């Protein structure tokens, strides 16, 4: 009578399938830490663009492909542009923040009463004083708490960016902790996919 084939058991399965599973887990980890992820908005500093509890899709490779869990850039990509919403670590205490890039290297920037001017040109029009345009990026400001600290004719050095919240009087941003190195930006926010009290949405940033 022929012997029944012996089942490989857990040890045999790990030998035959374990390596493939390990490779898959590593690839998933690399993808999550290097390409795409999400961010939960903790405060109202970016109202009306972002609300507390918003879940935001972020592109972690937008400004360079990094070695997972490090700030080491392996492949350079695009440079941050005015109007982009970005995730980064606060230079003050390392807290991860989400703000808008309002000025880049070479810009001469002023902020008066929460309203921004670049190279002497206001970003808001007389007809829409609460809206600023950064090229194609639209920022709907919240000035119910005032405009926050003013900035007068500050020139941004090369390789640095000024970040601010759209809720200008309720944002701990670059006016307090200073400029942020462009290469240290962690990710670019692409859009809101979930809003508390609303559910699934898609609001492109």
**CATH code, 185:** 2.10.109.10
13 occurs within a structural domain: no
pLDDT digits (tens, 9 = 90+) for 75-110: 677 899 999 999 999 999 999 999 999 999 999 999
* Annotated catalytic residue within 34, 61, 99, 171: 99
What are the beta bridge partners of residue 133? Answer: 138
* Residue in the structure block whose two tokens are 């808008």: 100
25 occurs within a structural domain: no
Separation CA 19–CA 21 (nearest Å): 5
* Residue in the structure block whose two tokens are 């058991």: 9
- Range of lowest pLDDT (36-45, 48-57, 130-139, 181-190): 36-45
Q: Compute the average pLDDT of residues 5-19.
A: 52
Concerning whether 89 is annotated as a catalytic residue, the answer is: no
Separation CA 19–CA 105 (nearest Å): 47
16 occurs within a structural domain: no
9 occurs within a structural domain: no
> In terms of residue numbers, what domain contains 132?
36-204
Separation CA 101–CA 156 (nearest Å): 12
147 occurs within a structural domain: yes
The sign of the dihedral angle between the CA atoms of 27, 30, 33, 36 is negative
pLDDT digits (tens, 9 = 90+) for 25-72: 333 343 344 445 889 999 999 999 999 999 999 998 889 776 665 566
Q: Which two tokens stand for residue 145?
A: 């708490």
Q: Which two tokens stand for residue 189?
A: 């926010």
Contacts 24+ apart (CB under 8 A), 76-82: 79/104, 79/182, 80/104, 80/161, 80/182, 80/185, 80/188, 81/134, 81/135, 82/107, 82/118, 82/134, 82/135, 82/137
Residue 13 has pLDDT above 80, yes or no: no
12 occurs within a structural domain: no
User: Pick from 127, 122, 174, 123: which is nearest to 148 by CA?
Assistant: 174
Concerning whether 196 is annotated as a catalytic residue, the answer is: no
* Annotated catalytic residue within 45, 61, 117, 171: 45
Average pLDDT along the chain: 85
Separation CA 77–CA 166 (nearest Å): 26
């Amino acid at each position: 009578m022929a012997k029944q084939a012996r089942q490989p058991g857990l040890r045999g399965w790990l030998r035959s399938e374990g390596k493939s599973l390990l490779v898959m887990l590593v690839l998933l980890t690399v993808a999550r830490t290097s390409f795409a992820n999400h961010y939960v908005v903790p405060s109202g500093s970016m109202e009306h663009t972002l609300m507390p509890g918003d879940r935001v899709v972020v592109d972690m490779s937008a400004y360079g492909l990094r070695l997972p869990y490090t700030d080491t850039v392996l492949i350079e990509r695009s440079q941050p542009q005015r109007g982009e919403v970005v995730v980064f670590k606060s230079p003050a205490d390392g807290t991860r923040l989400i703000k808008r890039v309002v000025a880049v290297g070479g810009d001469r920037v002023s902020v008066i009463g929460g309203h921004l001017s670049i190279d002497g040109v206001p970003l808001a029009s007389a007809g829409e004083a609460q809206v600023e345009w950064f090229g194609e990026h639209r920022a709907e400001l919240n000035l119910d708490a005032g405009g926050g600290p003013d900035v007068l004719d500050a020139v941004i050095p090369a390789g640095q960016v000024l970040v601010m919240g759209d809720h200008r009087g309720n944002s701990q941003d670059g006016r307090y902790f200073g400029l942020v190195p462009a290469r240290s930006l962690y990710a670019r926010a692409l859009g809101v996919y979930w809003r508390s009290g609303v559910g699934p949405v898609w609001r492109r940033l």
